[in-house]
Every structure is written in structure tokens, then in C-alpha cells.
Homo-oligomer: A and B are copies of this chain.
Amino acid sequence: MPRALHSRSPAVSDPHSDLPTVVRRSSSGLGPSAPVLQVRRPMASYGVSFAPVATAVHVLGVLVLALILYWVIAFRGGVTLWGSAPALIFNAHPVIMFGGFIFVSSEAILVYKTLSGTKRSKKLVHMSLQAIAFLLALVGIWAALKFHLDSNIDNFYSLHSWLGIFTVVLFFIQWIAGFFSFWTQSVAGSTRAAVLPWHVFFGIGAYVLAVATAVLGFLEKITFLQSGSLGHYASEAMFVNTVALLVVVFGFVTVLAILIPAPKEEDGYQAIE
């Protein structure tokens, strides 16, 4: 995602614009970066710096994970990956899909701005974290599948499951394409340059889809419970709805962190990198 830096500069004006002149500089932070101008007082166009937004991602991620754990333990009888209680194994599904898949993936996306070091070391951390996120997603899917199989429930009929499969397939394609394009660099440079914006687009797209799928999962589970004995305004329903809203907020803040320039670019003058 390109970043925009602001500076008032009477030398470059845009007669079509009725807003103060803004000089912008693009830098993806996720790939090719070629400053096109040295601006006088570079400033994040959003007016907020990266650090507090990144902190909000970390804190919200841990908070939501804790709330999901609280839900399955306090309301749903606990959570396990072993043993013969299908319902408790199912409870690992939301915990792992959020804590392992979505949260780890959001940290993997932000690695290019949260870590210092060479671009290649950041790439290594990025693709390692995304690999961990993907493998944890498979474990999370297995937990739901095992519950279904052990309980004789149909599989893959719901929109939640359809979108979930769509998401992990897109995630897998992204990982493979990213690996060969940007790590082993098995393709021509011009192809890598062409792949990059699509990698970012479908990467953020898959991430937003994962968040949306999680929200669908919360709705599906609560609707199942409410077609049984759970009241429409039961405290569990209100609790889970609130957690789902926090997941949405978490998604918003993560995408904002993706769009905001990294701190190193907010230190006044900077040379052509």
C-alpha cells in the first residue's frame, strides 16, 4: 500500500484542486520503493504516527484472543485439542482461527514496519509467520471438522465454511506465489514487479476476508444456540456479538497500520533510499 507524505509547497500546485497543495511521495513498504521527491516536512497523511496504531493492533489482538478464550471456557465448557469431547475440541476452532490465523497473519503483514533489519530478513519473518498462520488455520479447520464428523453433522454446507475455504485457498496461493516471486525469485524481475501490487491487494483482501469469515462464524454459532435454548438477548449472545465487533475494529486498525507510514519515514528530511 502506498504511503503519502504531506508538505505544503507553493512550487507544485494543482489548479484542479480546491484543497491546499499536497506533495505526495509513494513507497509501498512491501516492495519496490523509490522516493520521487524529497519533501520538506514529511508527515503521515493520516496525521497519526505508526507506533500507537501498531500498539493498538498488538493490544486488541491479545484482548480479543483473551475474550474468545473466556467465552469458550466460561460459557462453552472449556477447550481442548485432545480427548473424546467433540464440543470441547470444536471450541479450539474460534480460538485458533483468531489467535493463530488472523492475529499471527496481521503481525506477519506488519513485520515490514514493526521490525528493523534488512528487507530479506523481514521477508523471512513475514513468510515464516504466514506459514505458521496457515498451518494453524489447518489445525483450526481440523478442530471444526473433527467435531462435525464425531457428531454426525454435515460438512461444508454453510456460507461460513465456503468463505473459510475460499480464504485459506487464496492464502495458500498467495504464499506460494510470494515464495517463488520474492524469496527464491524464480521469475523475471519484471514479473516480480507485476506480481507485487497483486500480492499486496490479495494479501490484504485475504486478510479482510478472514476477518469477515470469523464474524460469520460468531453469527452462525450464536444463531445455532438461539435456535435452541439461548435467548436472543442472553448475556452469552451479547458477549459474543461484542467480541465480533471488536474483531471488526481489530481488522480496521490493522488495515490502518498497513496504510500508515513506518516511523523511520517521519523523521523530517530523508535522503533517496
Contacts and interface: CB of A to CB of B under 8 A. Distances in A.
A232 interface: yes
A198 interface: yes
A273 B14 contact: yes
- Number of chain copies forming the complex: 2
Interface string A116-136: 000110000000000000000
A16 B273 contact: yes
B17 A33 contact: yes
Nearest to A17: B32
Interface stretch (A19-27, A91-99, A171-179): A19-27
A209 B272 CA distance: 38
Contacts of A256: 201
Interface string A26-57: 11100111111100000001110000000000
Contact of A223 (B4, B119, B158): B158
A193 interface: yes
A88 to B, nearest CB: 23
Contact of A233 (B26, B157, B212, B220): B157
A12 interface: yes
Contact of A215 (B216, B232, B237): B216
Interface stretch (A62-70, A74-82, A101-109, A184-192): A184-192
A259 B240 CA distance: 34
Interface of A: 2-4, 6, 9, 12-28, 31-37, 45-47, 119-120, 154, 157-160, 162-163, 166, 185, 189-190, 192-194, 196-198, 201, 205, 208-209, 212, 215-216, 218-220, 222-224, 227, 232-233, 237, 240-241, 244-245, 248, 252, 255-256, 259, 272-273
Given A158-B219, A158-B241, A209-B248, 5 more contacts: A14-B35, A18-B120, A46-B197, A159-B215, A224-B227
